[in-house]
Structure 1
Amino acid sequence: MQASGLPPELCDAIIDELREDKKSLLQISLTCRALCPRTRVHLFHAVTLLGKSCCDRLCALITLSPTLALHFKSLRINWRIRNWNRNHLENYEPLTVIESLVGVTDLYLALDDWGRVPDAVASSLQSCSYRSLSIGGYCTFASMGEICLLLQNSPGLEQVSFSCKNIPPMLCDQDRSLHGTPAPSTLRIIDYQDTTSVPAERPRSLLTLAISSHPCPFSFCNIRTLTVCLSGPSTMFLEDLRKYLALPSTSLKHFCVIHGFRPVWSHRGSPLASLDVSDIESIEIRVYRDRPLFLNPGTLDILRWWISNFSSTDKRSIIRSLTFTNFTSISFPRKEERSTLDQEDLWMRLNDCLTSYKMGSLERLAITFDQRPAKWNMLKAQVEAKFQGLKKSGCEVILDIVTREKN
């Protein structure tokens, strides 16, 4: 079929709207050959390599149509070797297929050992200019310098996600004057490790580099959105976070804290230090509910700690939006929480805290719960009544139920 009489710009716009609908894009490609160049932009935008078979299929595709290699912008390498060969280079040899993917801008890397990657593969990944980099899983680097090399051609880096369990030593011998240091605006960190046993030459967390003079693969000066997941059993990550938030020169505007698998504030029975969040415009506090087999921290403990955070500052905050997400339904407190302060009293304490003069910039409070309890409308009205003071001050108060979401 020939292309329609529609202007090319309109056809492109229609196809772009369908970019997530692979089935429709395939049908368009089969129906109208003239539209194939645009559908290919989305059909061959991303590739995930989980093992040798994935690499073989990608190699066969590029062999049939070499120009398709130019379309790939997103590359995910999620590769774990179960049984290492004696010649360890053979384990990652299939990855040489990515040498033809010269236009990759978004990289997710989850390898067992970066040092075992063939030189040609490492060189290919180092030559790309990335907008986003995500390092996850058990990815292991010999030093921070190897990550610096990976980002040496990425001055436009916008987003970084760092969730690997093994933070490399701080050694870095790269000459920054040759390439400059990228300054992303979005950073996500998941605290997995037990930092009580971290060797002295390793940072306790990525934030250790932000509060020290040690080299880092990127600059923290332009971070506007920070997401942290508190999942480890140690309070050292929180201490680094507290020091980072206290720095006078950050650009941070949006802060999301995901309370993960363990109640870190109970570590050795010591209370957590408060965080000074008064210089952040938007804050979201989320509870991780995706894996019910893990022990989640109690909702009431989270609320108490955040009330302490909001109350501890001695200056007027600029917080405009505050969101609590995935909280336990108010009619079903956890068994271990039933002997603690009544929930209604805690809502009143939160209202009193947020109506103080220090929180005068607050415009919106949203609380969402992870399941719909019986008599929801009545319970919702009871909780809303606790925030009358906040409503009178002109702040919007939203209570809602959401379906379980991935964090």
Structure 2
Amino acid sequence: MTLLDLTPRVATGDRLSTLPVIVIGAGPIGLATAAHLVDRGIDVTVLEAGDSVGAAVRSWGHTRLFSPWKHLVDPVAQAMLESSGWVLPDPEGAPTGAELVASYLEPLAALEPIASTIRTGVRVLAVTREGMDRTRSTARSATPFAVRVTTATGVEELSARAVIDASGTYSTPNSLSSNGLDLLGFDDIRDAVTPALPDVLGRDRARFAGRRTTVVGAGHSAANTLLALAELARQETGTTVTWLIRNTRAVRVSSSPDDELPDRARLGSRVDEAVGAGLVNVVDGFEIIRARRSSSGVELAGHRHGEAVTHETDLVVNATGFRPDLHMLREVRLELDEIVEAPRRLAPLIDPNVHSCGTVEPHGFRELTHPEKGFFIVGMKSYGRAPTFLLATGYEQVRSVAAWLAGDLESASRVDLTLPATGVCSTDLGAGVGCCS
């Protein structure tokens, strides 16, 4: 394992010191990162692939989070906003994704000097060092990063003194296949598959009404979709709902009397009620191997309790969770856990087999450090495939990283965070936002 270098700041030669820190992603964590860097007087550029800030959150804007406002706003960002007259919404109220964007992300992004740091419609293709692949070591930490991007006008490379990847995981869902590889036959059924958290009772209603839908996945985004489909089944004749899970039970969607987020605690019981009422048919222990078009819709084939089985449906909702896009980081020297693909020092703290959202220990730049000095993955993407991320955790991450970049090792090392107590939890959102209901 590479020795951990705790020296504050990245090397700053004459040119390096003139370059900005590049932040990838303008979601809640990316914008909070910008706020912390601006607050410390560090030049920053935020690159957002979407046409506006919070693009991933907007895609599931109809969904209500189960974290209340008091856990969703970064403290430094809040101070900046309040200095302009902004008022925090009801601290105990839980917003929808759309409300989070409209009442927090958009006002924050509109503040000067935050607004001038943001470039939208810029997709990051790769990160490397100028003139170096990952095998070159001489003067590496003193060499600027090169961030290759694509924009409306073509491909270009941007230089940076440091890079913070807050891009989330929403654009890279896990496979429907139980073995983690691309599902055999997926191209044949692609048009029948929707990503997690479709707007079943709103924008996407016509797509699901009167049809057979199978939701694959055992987390909270699956539960939210099941509840919406159950309501649609009450309203629209011919609408049927199947919940297909790989395990023998949906351990992530369970209620706990000790959960300090009551909306999350109620989620499991609401799904149980829908199952008990016959609105949701549960098929457990189903390991999907392949898919194909059939004469009546889509056929999922696999094994269930050791026997070959098939399942017929019209539509499939992929709520299997997310994984980080590491291809864009192929030329960066990373140190990742071999199981969850999180930074190696962070992985034991977030192992979903041991921890829930509220039992993750506070952590900062030390746990997020890679052999590539000046490069950090923060937010949901820092958790790799672990589904236990909360926004408040990400805000503490970026506070610590910004302090380290500013040379304030004392502040960077002082990590303190109180999270709501939880039972079992899962975000399954990939956008780095926190849990939803």
Normalising by structure 1, report the TM-score: 0.28
Q: Which structure shows the bigger proportion of residues in helix conformation?
A: 1
Normalising by structure 2, report the TM-score: 0.27
Kindly name which structure, 1 or 2, has the bigger radius of gyration based on alpha carbons: 1
Q: Which gives a bigger RCO, structure 1 or 2 (Cα 8 Å, sep 6+)?
A: 2
